[in-house]
Amino acid sequence: MEKFLLKNIENPDSASLEEYQRVGGYKSLNKALQLEPSDIIAQVKAAGLRGRGGAGFPTGMKWDFASRDVKFPKYLICNADEGEPGTFKDRPILEKNPHLLIEGMAISAHALKSDRGYIYLRGEYPYARVVLEKAIEEAYAKGYLGDNIAGKGSGFHLSVHQGAGAYICGEETALIESIEGWRGQPRIKPPFPVNVGAWGMPTVVNNVETLANIPLIVAIGAEKYSAIGNPECPGPKLFSVSCCVETPGVYELPMGITLKEIIYDHAGGVRGGRKLKAVIPGGISAPVLPPDGVDCPMDFVNLPKRGSMLGSGAVMVFDDTVCMVKVCWRAMSFFEHESCGKCTPCREGTGWMRNILKRIEGGFGRDNDIELLQDISLSIIGKTFCPLGDGAAGVVLGFIKNFSDEFRYHITNKKCMVSKDL
Amino acid sequence: MIKVTIDGREVELENPVTVLEAAKQAGVIIPTLCYFEGLTPFGGCRLCLVEVEKLPRLQTSCTIMTADGMVVRTETDQIKAARRSILEFLLINHPLDCPFCDKAGECDLQDLVALYGPEAGRFAEGKRRHPESFDDPIIVRNMERCVLCTRCVRMCDGPQGAYAISVTGRGSHSFVEPFSGGKYNCEYCGNCLTVCPVGAIMSRLHRHSYRPWFVEKEIETVCGFCGVGCSMVLQMRENSIIRAIPRAGVGFNKGLLCVRGRFGYENVESEEQLTTPLMKVDGDLKPVSWEEAITFITESLKEIKDAFGGKAIGAVASGRCTNEDNYMLQKFIRFVLGSNNIDSSARNYYAPAEAYLERIFGQGITANLISGIANSDGVFVVGGDPTAINPILGLQIRASCRGGGKIIALGAPGGLKRFVAYELMPTPYSEEIILSAIVGRLLKGKALSGENTTVEAKLRSLKIPSDEDLGMTGISSEDIVRASDDLAGMATPVVVIGPDIIQRERASKNLARIFLLSERPNYQGVMDMGCLPDFLPGGRPVELEMFRHQIEGALGLKAPQDKGLTLFEMINEAETGGLKALYVMGENPLFNIPDSAKVKKALGNLDLLVVQDVHLTETSGIADVVLPATAWPEKEGTFTNLERRVQRVRKARRGRMASYGRDDWKIIADIAERFGMTKQYLRVEDVWEEITHVSALHTGLGYEDIAEGKAVWPYCGKPLRGMEGDFSVEGLDGLPRIRGSKKPYLMIERSLYHSGTFSRRSKALLSIYPEPYLMINPLLSERLGLAEGEKARISNERGVLELKVKLNEDVSDSQVFLSNTFEGAGAMGLIGFGIDSVIGSLYIKDNTVRVEKVRV
């Protein structure tokens, strides 16, 4: 498939404006500025683009809500707080193709009649900040950002706001709190940010990859775009493949490609030809799939049918040398560390489960620990303030459902099922 | 109309409210923890989850709004299980140290677990540890007990507006901490204590000294610190105050208190409280019996009256005493001794300003409701920091700001710093020029409504400062234009006037509501009770025969027809020998009037100085007789606050006096009886009854009405005078000349943590603000080579003081600030004063001081 999001990134100068323009960059912006904002929103709706951050909310609909709100100014925020273990799909765009994002944001801003945008960048991406800020400077110099974009009278100002390293700030309302200078914790919804967002104004928060898809939609039109991949959630998708594969990395592939194709055709198969044991298809919050799950198409429609989710499209592959109890414990350590502390079940439940998992992994598990873990998970699911806690509990339930033997072995034999010799 | 069904019960609602609120109306109890009325909803504890038909997830009832046709269930198995698990979660890291937690017995968590919690926990791991913090003198933080409901943070960021604390850290390692680190550097309102549902934020004052069930009685009373008059509850055990707490929903302070109200009560429990009358024998005060003291006073006063007439006798009333006390003093001096020489320290600024404003506007101008400030769209604060002088009124200004109101300050904004749109910081003593310029601009813009022609005519003669005049004030004409336009644009402006700037008030009719800040709890009552040389009770001018005769008729006693002497005039007369006796009730003129040397000389000249007070003071030190009086929580009566609301003060404890309790009014009534006053007063109610007959303001206002909170101005629908009087404004055609001074001006710091000499014995307040200091700007300190904590010597011809230096960049570098609180270090001693020829108020002059470093 022809690459669009990662086009030209092998070129060492791909981040420069010159190089971006050389391969056709900013043409979509010029085209979009000729269009009525409502036409662009209609196109994005018709294209069927769904948010790439994890929830898969239809982007056009989100924009529509925001554009219907009569309050001004409106804010456009790019969510570049890519912080989930296994997820690094946005990084190549941020570091190698920043002008694609800027172009996407400028078009979106025109569509939303927003004159102020922020890129909320993950605290641990210092290099991306340097690249983005340089690219923004170049775009201002060329008139792609500023008071009068490309001489068309439409104004848009953009800057980078770097987070301080909290996963929760990837949740859009926590992100807005953080931008406003408060402690990053999710807000009560409703009202939704499209109506009451940053500083109380209508705000659209879109993922990097979502915004990077916009120039393509404008360039090729909604019809052609919706023909890419699964028609129910079309478009190119970035998959960050990691752990036990021969060639980990970020792959741009059509939505709906099977896990099997990603692992074996693109990522070089399981490391050392070993046996596949488990796959987490969408970042650490997505419940784990057993090996027979690899025939599942990777999209927002099919993965939920298998009890998992596409999430950010971060594929984590585990072979038979990996202990599932340990993976689960490590995952829970992440959730405990990143739980913001706002709501009781997530704050207390993640820490409790981490303790139990650590105990099982260390050979001190108790007879009813599995039931206890399941019970705690069920006490969390559906009762938390935001999806972080639900995700954490779902992960535990996923591991126990698919690998209960391994958990039980750990408890009974006080050691790991995976031989140290492997 | 919205119809909602909750647990099968139908509720009809006018407007959408939260499901929690609707449930309350339906009589359904939903357990909550992070919810607190008046705070922004949080939705964090998840205890109030309910099932809502057609919604897939459980919903927090404190955040979800009702919609027509909504069906809610709160007692299903799913909900019960959710509550159980939430409470189990809350307890896993909780230390369960209830046996020695002060909160046990009134702990929300304890109660909730008992009602809804699991029978046993399953947590087998080690609990999270976090040492208790004793870094602060007043507030103990035990974050192991914290349930992270953030009620404290939302209180601090919300109604209090101090922004002093925040949650730090993440997940189960989140803790509430002050930004300043261990010790709080906050306003110490203690409102976080009120809202903490567990024992996480506790007062150190009574740590481990009581259990909630030790409280024997709760006395609902009114705070005795400032003129706002917040409702509060004194929790008593035996004869001792355990705690002062607000009561949610009672009073206009709506469950809020300030540092003085909440923590300052220890001053009345001091061991130093006077227990017996004292008389000067050979230069020293010696204990005597009541009989001896009263006989001596009676005989001395009789001698003086016989020899020099009633005019040689004067009295000082007190803004800390009740209406009944003040009324009785007034009656004694005026109707028994035949002297109109009665005044109080309200003369410093409150009384003259109030009387003057009333003459301009023809109505009780400060009688606006404090709670209205929050709804105004703009507040102009002049000459004083309301958040320090009248903290709870200050919070209303903050609330106005949060609601979109524009706050403009003339002078340092102090505790409003975060809330002002901008402040105008003129050079010292140029406020009048600024105000003239603003009014001038307002007139030009035809912003006056023109209803009050007298005011308008006077204002037309106002000299409008030129740009050149403004040049000396440090405020540009652009600033004036901005401020004037902002003021003119306000639909419901409020003007708050502080003690620092009672000069000629030129506010126009457009400035609709005016609040005078009152440092004492009952300045308004002092005036309404007639403790003024020119006004009888009920605000009736003494010189108007008709009014005088009415009151004389009601009492069957005669009053002199000429105006008496003001406080300052009495000092002057005493100095020159015209005044022979002074009866001081609950006041400390030697400390609280500027130029102590002059006051001391004047008081020393008297033939008889009687001081009636709770503690020994500077003034009682030079008195001939000192009478011990009951303190504020030891007596019954009423206070009138600065919005003219009359409120009941109730007796919570017995006084420390060995014999029977002696309220101020009772002592005076006893003396008056010796002079032949026949009226007998058995109880304080009898005094109030007489007031309602004598004062036209208070006619028909009974104690029951007051207790029910009905005593809001105008009490029985009768305004005071209801007419615009003529008033004299001198010098409108001129402007004051600002003379720069190389030496800084000494100003009085009006601290949030002290209330003049009244708080000298409050241990808690002293632990926050333990000793006098000189507050100076860092620029000035650099010029003088003084660093924070070093000793400075300030001096002028009135005296010398040595004080520690404290830097504060919010004060101007041409001023230094010192509070008038600590013994031997009062600012008043070094300040000179004059008397305003128009309104008779005190104005400060000759207050420059030389500041130098004390070399060790």
List the single residue in A166, A183, A342 with the smallest CB-CB distance to B166: A183
Residue recorded with tokens 């020829």: B837
DSSP per residue over A198-231, as a string?
GGGS-EEEEEHHHHHHHHHHHHHHHHHHHTSS-T
Contact by Cβ (8 Å): A180, A59: no
- Beta strands of A37-132 (E only): which ranges? 75-80, 116-121
Final residue belonging to a domain, choices B516, B544, B575: B516
Cβ separation of B43 and A359 shorter than 8 Å?
no
CA distances, A61 to each of A43, A53, B436 (Å): 11, 15, 57
pLDDT digits (tens, 9 = 90+) for B74-121: 999 999 999 999 999 999 999 999 999 999 999 999 999 999 999 999
Cβ separation of B46 and A383 shorter than 8 Å?
yes
Q: What residues of chain B lie within 8 A of the CB of A341, using their CB?
A: 148, 167, 169-174
Shared domain for A31 and A148, answered yes or no, is yes
Task: Kindly give, in sequence order, each residue whose CB lies less than 8 Å from that of residue B185, ignoring residues fewer than 6 positions away.
Answer: B164, B178, B179
Number of domains in chain A: 3
Give which of B19, B46, B149, B179 to mutate to test A binding, by max A Cβ within 10 Å.
B46
Q: Which of residues 154-183 of A touch B (CB under 8 A)?
A: 166, 183
> Which residues span the domain enclosing A278?
236-319
What token pair was written down for A42?
Answer: 């209609």
- pLDDT for A283 equals 94
What span, in angstroms and rounded, lies between the C-alpha atoms of A409 and A417? Answer: 6
- pLDDT for B726 equals 55
Contact by Cβ (8 Å): B275, B657: yes
- pLDDT for B447 equals 46
Shared domain for B652 and B756, answered yes or no, is no
- pLDDT for B513 equals 53
Asked if residue B679 has pLDDT above 50, the reply is yes
Shared domain for A282 and A199, answered yes or no, is no
Min Cα separation A292/chain B (Å): 31
What span, in angstroms and rounded, lies between the C-alpha atoms of A42 and A36? Answer: 10
CA atoms within 13 A on the CB side of A211: 33
Average pLDDT over residues B384-408: 93
Helices (H), B490-544: 523-528
| Interface predicted TM-score of the whole assembly (ipTM), two decimals | 0.95
- pLDDT for B431 equals 80
Shared domain for B364 and B511, answered yes or no, is yes
Average pLDDT over residues A82-96: 96
Q: Would an 8 Å CB–CB cutoff place A304 in contact with chain B?
A: no
Number of domains in chain B: 4
Shared domain for B577 and B483, answered yes or no, is no
Shared domain for A55 and A119, answered yes or no, is yes
pTM for the full predicted model: 0.92
Q: Looking at the domain assignment, is residue A6 inside a domain?
A: no
pLDDT digits (tens, 9 = 90+) for B297-353: 999 999 999 999 999 999 999 999 999 999 999 999 999 999 999 999 888 877 777
Q: Looking at the domain assignment, is residue B63 inside a domain?
A: yes
In terms of Cβ atoms closer than 10 Å to its own Cβ (0-12, 13-18, 19+), residue A371 is: exposed
Cβ separation of A344 and B93 shorter than 8 Å?
no
Residue recorded with tokens 């030697």: B590
Shared domain for B494 and B612, answered yes or no, is no
Shared domain for A288 and A392, answered yes or no, is no
Average pLDDT, chain A: 96
Q: Looking at the domain assignment, is residue B226 inside a domain?
A: no
- pLDDT for B721 equals 46
Cβ separation of B63 and A359 shorter than 8 Å?
no
Q: Looking at the domain assignment, is residue A24 inside a domain?
A: yes
Cβ separation of A341 and B124 shorter than 8 Å?
no
DSSP single-letter state for residue A147: S
End-to-end CA distance of chain A: 37
Q: What residues of chain B lie within 8 A of the CB of A343, using their CB?
A: 43-46
What token pair was written down for A8?
Answer: 């030209």
Asked if residue B756 has pLDDT above 90, the reply is no
Asked if residue B657 has pLDDT above 60, the reply is no
Final residue belonging to a domain, choices A296, A319, A342: A319
Q: How confident is the model at residue B247 (pLDDT cuts 50, 70, 90)?
A: confident
Give which of A183, A335, A342 to mutate to test B binding, by max B Cβ within 10 Å.
A342
Shared domain for B483 and B387, answered yes or no, is yes
- pLDDT for B509 equals 33
Asked if residue B739 has pLDDT above 70, the reply is no
What token pair was written down for B594?
Answer: 């500027």
Q: Looking at the domain assignment, is residue B469 inside a domain?
A: yes
- pLDDT for B658 equals 47
Q: What residues of chain B lie within 8 A of the CB of A338, using their CB?
A: 170-171
Element (H, E) at A378: helix A369-380
Please give the angle made by the CA atoms of A322, A328 and A334, to the nearest 5 degrees.
120
Q: Looking at the domain assignment, is residue A112 inside a domain?
A: yes
Q: What residues of chain A lie within 8 A of the CB of B172, using their CB?
A: 336, 339, 341, 347-348, 350-351
Residue recorded with tokens 């700030």: A169
Shared domain for B574 and B504, answered yes or no, is no
Q: Looking at the domain assignment, is residue A409 inside a domain?
A: yes
Q: What residues of chain A lie within 8 A of the CB of B88, using their CB?
A: 379
Q: Looking at the domain assignment, is residue A182 inside a domain?
A: yes
More confident residue, B680 or B251: B680
What token pair was written down for A287?
Answer: 């419940």
What span, in angstroms and rounded, lies between the C-alpha atoms of B292 and B281? Answer: 13
More confident residue, B742 or B115: B115
Contact by Cβ (8 Å): B706, B324: no
- pLDDT for B248 equals 80
Residue A279: phi, psi to the nearest 5? -135, 130
Shared domain for B394 and B480, answered yes or no, is yes
Contact by Cβ (8 Å): A22, A142: no
Q: What residues of chain A lie within 8 A of the CB of B128, using their CB?
A: 351
CA B659 to chain centre: 32
Helices (H), B272-385: 290-308, 323-330, 350-361
Pairing of strands B378-382, B493-497: parallel
Q: How confident is the model at residue B354 (pLDDT cuts 50, 70, 90)?
A: confident
Final residue belonging to a domain, choices A226, A254, A279: A226
Q: Looking at the domain assignment, is residue B623 inside a domain?
A: yes
Q: Which residue in A79, A27, A19 sits closest to A211, CA to CA?
A: A79
Asked if residue B507 has pLDDT above 60, the reply is no
Task: Kindly give, in sequence order, each residue whose CB lies less than 8 Å from that of residue B98, ignoring residues fewer than 6 positions away.
Answer: B104, B107, B110
Final residue belonging to a domain, choices A300, A319, A338: A319
Task: Kindly give, in sequence order, each residue whose CB lies less than 8 Å from that of residue A202, ignoring residues fewer than 6 positions away.
Answer: A66, A69, A71, A72, A74, A75, A193, A194, A195, A196
Average pLDDT over residues B547-563: 91
What token pair was written down for A192?
Answer: 């939704």
Task: Kindly give, in sequence order, each residue whose CB lies less than 8 Å from that of residue B553, ignoring residues fewer than 6 positions away.
Answer: none
Q: Which residue in B725, B696, B679 sits closest to B547, CA to CA?
A: B696
What span, in angstroms and rounded, lies between the C-alpha atoms of B100 and B469? Answer: 67
Q: Would an 8 Å CB–CB cutoff place A359 in contact with chain B?
A: yes
Asked if residue B849 has pLDDT above 50, the reply is yes
> Which residues span the domain enclosing B580?
278-346+522-707
Contact by Cβ (8 Å): B336, B557: yes
List the single residue in B43, B81, B169 with the smallest CB-CB distance to A385: B43
Tell me the torsion sign for CA atoms A142, A143, A144, A146.
positive
- pLDDT for A67 equals 97
In terms of Cβ atoms closer than 10 Å to its own Cβ (0-12, 13-18, 19+), residue B732 is: middle
Shared domain for A31 and A172, answered yes or no, is yes
DSSP single-letter state for residue B519: S
CA A280 to chain centre: 14
- Percent of chain A past pLDDT 70, that is, above it, reads 99
CA B136 to chain centre: 24
- pLDDT for B504 equals 36
- pLDDT for B510 equals 35
Task: Kindly give, in sequence order, each residue whose CB lies less than 8 Å from that of residue B758, ignoring residues fewer than 6 positions away.
Answer: B225, B267, B320
What span, in angstroms and rounded, lies between the C-alpha atoms of A418 and B411? Answer: 74
Q: Which residue in B797, B803, B796 sits closest to B775, CA to CA?
A: B803
Contact by Cβ (8 Å): A314, A349: no
- pLDDT for B455 equals 64
What token pair was written down for B578?
Answer: 């015209």
Shared domain for B538 and B501, answered yes or no, is no
The enclosing domain of B67 has a CATH number of 3.10.20.740
- pLDDT for B729 equals 55
Cβ separation of A347 and B174 shorter than 8 Å?
yes
Shared domain for B512 and B527, answered yes or no, is no
Pairing of strands A314-319, A236-243: parallel
* Three-state SS annotation for B57-113: CCEECCCCECCCCEEEECCCHHHHHHHHHHHHHHHHCCCCCHHHCCCCCCCHHHHHH
Shared domain for A26 and A174, answered yes or no, is yes
Shared domain for B442 and B564, answered yes or no, is no
- pLDDT for B728 equals 55
- pLDDT for A125 equals 97
Asked if residue A317 has pLDDT above 70, the reply is yes
**B380-419: burial string, b at 16+ Cβ within 10 Å, e else:** bbbbbbbbbbbbbbbbbbbbbbeeebbbbbbbbbbbbeeb
Min Cα separation B166/chain A (Å): 9
DSSP bridge partners of B233: B220, B245
Residue A352 one-letter amino acid: W
Shared domain for B655 and B689, answered yes or no, is yes
Lowest mean pLDDT among A11-20, B84-93, B506-515: B506-515
Average pLDDT, chain B: 88
Shared domain for A359 and A312, answered yes or no, is no
Shared domain for B614 and B691, answered yes or no, is yes
Contact by Cβ (8 Å): B506, B391: no
Cβ separation of B85 and A345 shorter than 8 Å?
yes
Average pLDDT over residues B436-463: 67
